[in-house]
Amino acid sequence: MARARRRGFFAAGGLPRFVLRRLLLFIPTAIGAGLLTFLLVKIIPGGPAYARLGEDATPEAIAVVEKQLGLDKPVVEQFFSWLGKAVTGDLGVSFQTGQPVSKLIGNALPVTLELVLLAIVGTIVIAVPLGVFAAKRADRRSGRWIRTVSGVGLAVPDFFLALVLISVFSVGLGLLPRLGYPRFTVDPADNLYHVILPVLPMILGGSAIVIRQVSAAMVDALASDHTRTARAMGLSERVVTWRYAFRAALPTVLNVVALLALGQLGVTLVLEKIFVLPGMGSALVNAIGVRDYTLILGIVLVYVLIALVVNLVVDIVSGLVNPANRGE
């Protein structure tokens, strides 16, 4: 994750060298994650052949299917065969459907990314101003009330919040649909209408985290010498708050948002099943259920690459906005 102080960003070639080093680290990280996932799925009881034929299948029938799927080969050979193809962009075919894994992921990924992006945008719009407000009124009742409510929100699981929202807005009031997912490219308005309910638990749960973190970072920033000097110069409180204090707290805020984005990917595993959405979370849960090894490996690999890219972007942005790296 990004560190608050990143020296050398603006030295000659500093940023390109940093990005190149991080990109090179993507390779061993992705391979390590793939190997770990491969070993984990191998120790899950059962297998693709049992999932396809059922528990009553004969050993002979199981052996035939495993040979067809290449599962009769040594584990090491299976892994390096998958890895060699994955490096070229070939993630194989699903053991259960026979469709290319890349195609299945290509259909599911936009659903999950839409949920996460909408949740992050909604969280930032709600939580950042409330966090700043709570920090500026840290010793007042309003600030304490915001921190208390956000603390309670941390204790409420997203899946429970989703069930409550379904009961209120879908079953009780009939305002929002419980099921259905029209693609954004087909009908943007209807798409947004259907994803409001799945995204709400993510926004509310994420806001509880971000409010507390932003508030804590802003309390420190508002009490810093840098901010006191700005006040002594006669600048307005609005300028002091947003131009000086918030800018000093911004690297911390970015790190929190990045961690939240990665956490929201995990939240979609549950919410996509609750709302029956055809996203990556549902696909992964279903693949684990039927021991679809190639699909599991492909989805995990995509998750790992997303995490690496998010961390890289946040490291770069944090370094660029940090006044210490600009000689300020």
In degrees, to the nearest 5, what angle opens at C-alpha 104 toward C-alphas 258 and 119? 30
Q: What is the pLDDT of residues 104-150, one digit of tens each?
A: 999 999 999 999 999 999 999 999 999 888 888 877 887 788 878 88
- Taking the C-alpha atoms of residue 265 and residue 260, their distance in angstroms, rounded to an integer, is 9
Confidence tier at 153 by pLDDT (50, 70, 90) = confident
- CA contacts within 13 A on the Cβ side of 185: 3
Write 55-64 long-range contacts (CB < 8 A, 24+).
none
More confident residue, 58 or 116: 116
- Taking the C-alpha atoms of residue 312 and residue 247, their distance in angstroms, rounded to an integer, is 20
- Taking the C-alpha atoms of residue 294 and residue 42, their distance in angstroms, rounded to an integer, is 11
What pTM value is reported for the model?
0.82
> What is the model's pLDDT at position 234?
79
Could you give the percent of the chain with pLDDT greater than 90? 11
H or E segment and range at residue 238: helix 237-239
In degrees, to the nearest 5, what angle opens at C-alpha 36 toward C-alphas 35 and 41? 100
- N- to C-terminal Cα separation, the chain: 23
pLDDT at 6 over 50: no
pLDDT at 326 over 60: no
Cβ count near 130 (within 10 Å):
20
Buried b (16+ CB within 10 A) or exposed e, 91-111: bbbbbbeeebbbebbeebbeb
- Taking the C-alpha atoms of residue 48 and residue 159, their distance in angstroms, rounded to an integer, is 29
| DSSP structure class, residue 326 | G
> What is the model's pLDDT at position 323?
55
Q: Which two tokens stand for residue 35?
A: 């190997």
Confidence tier at 5 by pLDDT (50, 70, 90) = very low
Confidence tier at 4 by pLDDT (50, 70, 90) = very low
Q: What is the pLDDT of residues 237-270, one digit of tens each?
A: 888 888 888 888 888 888 888 888 888 888 888 8
> What is the model's pLDDT at position 124?
92
Confidence tier at 322 by pLDDT (50, 70, 90) = low
Average pLDDT, the chain: 82
| Contact between 304 and 29 (Cβ < 8 Å) | yes
Q: What is the mean pLDDT of residues 81-99?
A: 84
> What is the model's pLDDT at position 2?
41
